[in-house]
Structure 1
Amino acid sequence: MSDRLVRAFWGRLGLPGLVDVHTHFMPERVLRKVWAYFDAVGPLTGMPWPITHREEEDRRVELLREFGVVGFTSMVYPHKAGMAEWLNGWAAEFAGRVEGCLRTATLFPEAGVEGYVREAVEGGARVFKAHLHVGAYDPNDPLLDGAWGLLADAGVPIVIHCGSGPAPGKHTGPEPIARLLARHPRLRLIVAHMGMPEYADFLGLAERYEEVRLDTTMAFTDFSERLAPFPVRERGRLLDLGDRILLGSDFPNIPYGYLHQLEALERLGLGEDWLRAVCYWNGVRLFPVRS
């Protein structure tokens, strides 16, 4: 039933499908640890976080196909040194065998980071993931400076979890990102979760830097509105930045069905043209895909 409703959503808009820039596929033992974290996340959010799509990998890929997602990512991220290069190898293999997956890579402030980032870019990585909350690192760490410069020059987008939700981290919030962009203004950052809960500040960075974008991951949903409601007064800025907001879902690590993210976007009341851009065209412009 849910797959038919998802298809009906984008079908009504006259789209050939969806492009979701924030989905997670990762090595099985890593994913199980991530799910265990969410199973115990209540103390951070004060709310249960049941994983709705807790299926095996093949079934999760199949579900995205059934939903009509024609482009998606395998967001991987390290929590310590020595993991990123290994995760990049896994993600390259995954994208090579799974049609529609944008080859994804990651990074961590450590010796050799610029070398393996260069290798990933030259090998065909189309998007990177940076997770300041899980990695607990400052994006302005000098060890990362060469890697950021390389990614800026190559124009490879980076989906970056830098907002302070669901709980503040040591290096989360808009200030570290503002300092990073001051040094690398051409970085194609995609601020995950709309920068939740510092929505207004991250919208401001997108207004200032033309390569900064935001993804919708979990934003505007019933779950997130209880935790960190998006300010109604900022909705006009969403419309003004409509060409730089991209659909993200956090599939499969979400405590509701996939359809709900789409419904949450629709009920913002920003119009069908805005929905078409966010759900498909902005993603296609950044990541050309076959539909």
Structure 2
Amino acid sequence: MTEDDTTDLSAFRTRLGLPGIIDVHTHFMPDQVLRKVWAYFDSVGPLIGRSWPITYRADEQVRLKTLRDFGVRAFTSLAYPHKPDMAAWLNEWTAEFAGRTPDCLHTATFFPEQQAEGYVKAAIERGARVFKAHVQVGGYHPGDRLLDPVWGLIEDARIPVVIHCGSGPAPGTYTGPEPIAGVLRRFPRLSLVIAHMGTPEYSEFLDLAEDYADVRFDTTMVWTDFSEANAPFPTGERGRLRSFADRILFGSDFPNIPYPYGHSIQVLERLELGDDWLRQVCHRNAARLFGVE
């Protein structure tokens, strides 16, 4: 990709015959929350050993136009709480956002707290199509018993959960494959989308997917020059990318990425796994999972 991502992404879609790109890992949230997220990335340098500039720091309408200009036809509004008594409010915002943004998949979230079952049930009844969980930022164990009714509701509703549970870019107390393995042993039909391919525990999360047919992955930031510098994807696992071709979904982390959007697609092409693999990852798998026509 060149600096003109709009033109290059249009050519990419045309070459593959895609009606558009589906991006399962984008962030839209209340302005005051997003600005705190940006402030975190602005200050994260000492923690990860390098700066993290926000490439698409702009007002909401500008960000929406940017995504659409890139040919993204469906996306998410991944919001997540970092403390109690926050998730229900975020769910109100994301429901309102989905109502005025038809190309956004109605997204919801949760936190381990007594009221979680109630607001998760309400979000499902209101039409939530995807949930977001962030084990690292939330600082909670995904197997917390307060989440048992939540996992049960989501499992029964067959709604995917995009979950950041790997230990990148910095480990948390409950990140890594083991806590997720424990959840899956109790809720084996959960539809989990492991964010960032489980960076940096790629192999361990791929092992989990061997045992659970509803475990999927998103490509967010993986294989980019930024990520490969600190958490390279193991070359020995390239074969399993083919094996899981129908369970890998494109994600970008827009707008919070430290490089141009097109680079997220360019690195998938560099894997040289074939055009049909790209079609599945960039559109078909998500279209099938979320019922995008």
Which TM-score applies when normalising by structure 1? 0.99
2:185 matched to 1:192? Answer: no
Aligned to 2:41: 38
| Runs of 4+ with deviation above 3 angstroms | none
Distance 2:47 2:102 in 1: 36
- Alpha-carbon distance, 1:4 to partner: 1.3
CA distance in 2, matches of 1:59, 1:84: 26
Equivalent position of 1:164 in the other structure? 167
Aligned partner of 1:90 in structure 2 is 93
Amino acid at match of 2:135: L
* Partner residue in 2 for 1:120: 123
Root-mean-square deviation (CA), in Å?
0.6
User: Which amino acid letter does the alignment assign opposite residue 137 of structure 2?
Assistant: V
Give the Cα separation in 2 of the matches to 1:181 and 1:11. 39
Give the percent of matched residue pairs that are identical in Structure 1 and Structure 2: 64
- Write the deviation string for residues 37-64 of structure 1: whole angstroms up to 9, x where unpaired: 0001111211110000011100000011
- The 5 A counterparts of 1:217-236 are 217-236=220-239
Segments of 5+ residues of structure 1 without an aligned counterpart are: none
Q: State the alpha-carbon separation in 2 of the partners of residues 220 and 76 from structure 1.
A: 24
1:60 corresponds, among 35, 47, 63, to 63
- The question of 1:243 aligning with 2:216 is answered no
Q: Say which SS state the counterpart of residue 229 (structure 2) adopts.
A: helix
1:283 pairs with 2:290: no
CA distance in 2, matches of 1:4, 1:97: 27
Mapped contact 1:136–1:171 kept (Cα < 8 A): yes
Amino acid at match of 1:271: G
The CA deviation at 1:289 is 2.2
Q: Give the Cα–Cα distance (whole angstroms) in 2 for the partners of residues 211 and 246 of structure 1.
A: 13
Partner residue, 1:155:
158
Matched, 1:7 2:10: yes
Gaps of 5+ in 2: none
- The amino acid that maps onto 1:100 is D
Is the contact made by 1:100 and 1:289 (CA closer than 8 Å) also made in structure 2? Answer: no
Does the alignment pair 1:78 with 2:78? Answer: no
Instruction: Name the structure 1 match of 2:30.
Output: 27
Secondary structure, aligned partner of 1:19: strand
Tell me, what secondary structure is at the counterpart of 1:227? coil
Quick check: 1:163–1:198 contact (8 Å CA) kept in 2?
Answer: yes
CA distance in 1, matches of 2:150, 2:223: 33
Code of the aligned partner of 1:191: I
Query: How many Å separate the matches in 1 of 2:130 and 2:47?
Result: 29
Following superposition, the deviation at residue 9 of structure 1 comes to 1.3
d(CA) in 2 for partners of 1:44 and 1:200? 24
- Counterpart contact for 1:22–1:217, Cα < 8 Å: yes
Question: Partners in 2 of 1:282 and 1:49 — Cα distance?
Answer: 30
Q: Deviations over 1:81-100 (max 9, x none)?
A: 00000000000000100121
Tell me, in whole angstroms, the C-alpha distance in 2 between the residues paired with 1:72 and 1:245. Answer: 15
Query: How many residue pairs are counted as aligned between the two chains?
Result: 290
Contact 1:70/1:289 (8 A) holds in 2? no
| Residue deviations 1:90-114 (CA, integer Å, cap 9, x gap) | 0000010012100000000001101
Partners of 1:6 and 1:275 in 2: how far apart?
13
* Superposition deviation, residue 2 in structure 1: 1.7
User: Which sits farther off after the overlay, 165-174 or 42-51?
Assistant: 42-51
